[in-house]
Chain A
C-alpha cells in the first residue's frame, strides 16, 4: 500500500479554463524521499494543496479522480483530520509560528486536536529532541534564526505524528548554510523515522544527494519521475529545472562529445568521474 496514491487526479480552479493538475498518476511508498520540482505554475503547489485538503475544502473548483493517503481516500476529510496524516511545512516559517515560546508553538497543533496533556507533553519533548531545538524551548520565535524557526515549524508538524511530511520550499528564505542544515534535518528524519517525505524544491544542488526519487511536473502533468541521476537528463534541462551545477557541467561537456551518459549529481560523483577520465 502506497503512502500517497493519486489516480487520474485532476483539479481545475473555479473560473479557470484549464486544469492546474491533470490526470496525475502517482504512488509514493512509505519511507521514500521524493523531490517534487518543476517550473513556476507547473502545478506543484496545487498538488500539495490536494494532499493537505486545502483543495477542495478551501479552494473551490472541480476535482476529479482519486487521492488516497495510507490507503484511504481523502474525500470528505477535513484539513484537521488530514493534518494528523500529512504534516505540512511552508516556505516562510514566520507564517507557521505565532506563540510566545518555541515549546508553546510545538504544542499548538496538539492542543487543537484535543490530545491528552500527558501524551501531548511527551510528543512535544520528542519533537523538539529529534529536530534539535530542546535548548531553545523558552525562546520566542522572533529570537530565533531563520533556520531555527524552520526547525521549530518542523517540530510542530512532527508532534502530530504524521506518517508523511510535505515541505513546500522550506529553504527559500534561509541563508545557504542554514538551508543545508535544514535539508540535513529532513534527511535524518526520513532515515530515522521512515517518514515519507515529499520535498518541493528548486534548489536541487543541496537536496539531490538525499532523495531516492525526483518527480518533475510541467504544465500540470508529471513529466519525469525516477532516481535523480536518471531524471537529470536532457528532458529535465529542456523543461527548465535548475539542475545541480555539476550535473549541468556534464550536460555541457556531453554536448561537445566530452562526457558519457552518466549524470553525476554531487561534487564527489563529478570529481570521481572527471579524475577517472583524466587519469589524475
Chain B
C-alpha cells in the first residue's frame, strides 16, 4: 500500500507544488492521476519511490516511510517510468538496457536472458534487441523504458504519461498489458491526460488541481463531472458527450466508452426497428 498523509511540497524557495494531499492506494489498485499541466502530478509520483521527499507530511510504501530507505531500495518495490524515456535510457543496445538492472540486482545470467527475451516479446521489441535505444521512435523508446523497469518485477508500477506518442494499436496493447499486470496483483498508477484512454480502462481517478486533490472516484463519475473537468483542464469523453445529447433515452451515467455505448444503443435501436416494422406491417 502507498499512503500519502497531509503532504505539502515545495522546491527550495518556491511556491507550494502540493498542498495538504492525502491519498491511500491499496495493493492491486489501478489509479489514474489526472489534472492540468503543472497540477503537481509528476511531483506527487516522484515521492512514491523517494526521488522527492515531502516538505511536510509523510509518504509510506508498504508501511515504511520513504525517508527510511534509499531510492535504490525503494525502487525495488516502486518502479517509476518517466514521461520522457530519454531521462532513463543509457545503454548501447535495447537488450543491455533491459538486462542492466537485473545483473546489478545479482540475478543469474539464465534468469536475465529469460526475462529479457520474454519482455521484448511482450512489448513488441524483439527486432530491436541489438539496436541502440536512441535510433528508435519516441513511442518505441517509451516501451523500452517500461520494459527496463518491468525487468526486475517491482510490486507497484508508476507510469508517467504512458500513452504519449503511442498509436491506437499500441495503446490497446498497453491497456491489455496493464490488465495483465493487474491480474498478477500489481498496483498500477498512471499519470495521464489521455481522457479517452482512461474512459476505456476505467481506473479510479484521482484529480489534482493546483497542488490539491479535487476529486477521487470511479472514472465514469469524475470524467462526467462538468465542474471538475473544467477545473482540471480536461474534457468530457466524446461518448459521454454524445450520451448527454440523448437524454430522453435515459442512458445510465456510466457510459463513457464506445463499447458500453454500443451495448446500450443496440437494444434501443433493435426495439426502434421492430416498432417501425410493426407500424408498417
Q: Which residues of A contact B (CB under 8 A)?
A: 38-41, 45, 91, 145-147, 169, 172-180, 202, 205, 240-246, 248-249, 252-253, 256, 258-259, 267-268, 270-271, 274-275, 277-280
Contact = CB atoms under 8 A, between A and B. Distances in A.
B165 interface: yes
A242 B233 contact: no
Contacts of A172: 164-165
Contacts of B248: 280
B37, B246, B266 interface centre (most CB from chain A within 10 Å): B37
B89 to A, nearest CB: 17
A169 B165 contact: yes
A176 B242 contact: no
Interface string B246-272: 101100000001110110011011101
A91 to B, nearest CB: 8
Contact of B242 (A240, A249, A258, A280): A249
B262 A176 contact: no
Interface of B: 35-38, 137-140, 164-171, 193, 195-196, 199, 232-235, 237-239, 241-242, 245-246, 248-249, 257-259, 261-262, 265-266, 268-270, 272-273, 276
Nearest to A251: B258
B269 A176 contact: no
Contact of A39 (B35, B37, B169, B265): B169
Given A145-B37, A145-B38, A275-B246, A245 B239 contact: yes
B268 A278 contact: yes
B268 A256 contact: no
Given A91-B165, A242-B171, A243-B168, 20 more contacts: A39-B169, A40-B139, A45-B137, A173-B37, A173-B164, A176-B195, A177-B36, A177-B235, A205-B238, A248-B258, A249-B242, A249-B261, A252-B259, A253-B266, A256-B266, A259-B269, A267-B245, A270-B242, A277-B269, A278-B269
A274 B246 contact: yes
Contacts of A91: 138, 165
